Amino acid sequence: MRIAGIQGLSLIDFPGNVASVLFLAGCDFRCPFCQNPDLIEISADTPKFSWEDVVEFLRHRKKLIDGVAITGGEPMLFPDIADFVAHLNEEIGLPVKIDTNGHHPDVLKQLLEDGHVTYVAMDVKTALSRYSEASGTLVDIHKIEQSIRLIMQSGVRYEFRTTVVPTVVDEAAVDEMGKVIEGAELWAFQQYQNRIVYNENFKAVKPLTPEKVRALMMRAEPYVKRVIVRGL
pLDDT at 110 over 90: yes
Helices (H) and strands (E) in the chain, counts: 7, 8
- Which of 193, 166, 165, 183 is CA-nearest to residue 220? 183
Phi-psi group of 16: left, alpha or beta (phi > 0 → left; psi -120 to 50 → alpha; rest → beta): left
What confidence category does residue 90 fall into, taking pLDDT thresholds of 50, 70 and 90?
A: confident
Write out the residue range of the structural domain in which residue 63 sits. 2-230
Q: How would you classify the pairing of strands 19-25 and 67-71?
A: parallel
Please check whether residue 125 is in contact with residue 134, taking contact to mean a CB–CB distance below 8 angstroms: yes
Distance, CA of 143 to CA of 157 (rounded, Å): 20
pLDDT range class, residue 18, cuts 50, 70, 90: very high
- What's the pLDDT score for residue 166? 95
Q: Give which of 101, 188, 94, 114 is closest to 154, Cα–Cα.
A: 114
Q: Is the pLDDT of residue 232 over 90?
A: no
182 by Cβ neighbours in 10 Å (0-12 / 13-18 / 19+) ranks as exposed
pTM, two decimal places: 0.94
What local confidence, expressed as pLDDT, does residue 28 receive? Answer: 95
pLDDT tens digits, 112-139: 999 999 999 999 999 999 999 999 999 9
Higher pLDDT, 189 or 92: 189
Q: In total, how many domains does the chain have?
A: 1
Binning pLDDT at 50, 70 and 90, where does residue 14 land? very high
Mean per-residue pLDDT, 158-181? 97
CATH of the domain at 61: 3.20.20.70
